[in-house]
Structure formats: C-alpha cells, structure tokens
Amino acid sequence: MKALSYLSVVLGILSALAAIYLAVVVAPEAESASNILFSLQPDNFYGSVEHLNLLARMELKITVGVAVLFGGILALILGIYPAVKKNKLGLIGLFLGIISALVGAAYGTHMFS
C-alpha cells in the first residue's frame, strides 16, 4: 500500500506540473497562434512553413492536455485504495489526480468549450 501511495503522489505531482505548464505556457501560445491563423493572410501563406508551425502550436495544446488527463486519471486510480485505507499520501495523490484530470479535460478535450 505504501508503494501505491508513493507512486500516486509522484504521478500526481508530475501531472500537476504538466498541468501548470499547460495552463501557463502552452494554452496562451496556442491562443496567439489561433489569432494569427484566423486573421487575414495572403494566399501564399497557406501550406507554408509558418502556417504549419502555427497548426503544430495549436495541436500541442490538445496533445499535452490529453497526456495530463490520462496522467491525472492514473494518479487518481492509484490513489483510491490508499485513500480508503486512510493513508495521507494516498489522499494527496488522489487530490492531485483529480485536479490534473480536470485541467487536462478542460484543455485536452472540447468538454468545456
């Protein structure tokens, strides 16, 4: 049970750090790429390297969001059993997993859009 709680906390911390990176760095960058992409552009812009880079920046938000979502769900699953047994580390891992899963769902899917 100790190993499950440690694994849950470590995975929860990693997912929470990735969620912070997603919310602070990746999402604003994807928003600015979206604004540039949907503004009026010349005809030779589409298919260019800059166009493809903007699309990749927008896609990165979904990719990192889905990774955070699955990491949070895994931390949540691993923290359930130790949390039921009143292990404090299990509760911390469970809480971090829930927060990470919600942030990943908000940015990685169209659930909240």
Token output for 91: 């509760």
Q: Residue 113 has what pLDDT? A: 60
> How far apart (Å, rounded) are the C-alpha atoms in residues 69 and 12?
11
* Packed helices 2-21 and 49-84: angle between N→C axes, nearest 10 degrees: 150
* Packed helices 88-108 and 49-84: angle between N→C axes, nearest 10 degrees: 150
Which residue ranges in the chain fall short of pLDDT 50? none
Q: Residue 25 has what pLDDT? A: 95
Give pLDDT tens digits for 30-49.
Answer: 999 988 888 877 777 777 88
Residue boundaries of the structural domains of the chain: 2-108
> How far apart (Å, rounded) are the C-alpha atoms in residues 17 and 44?
39
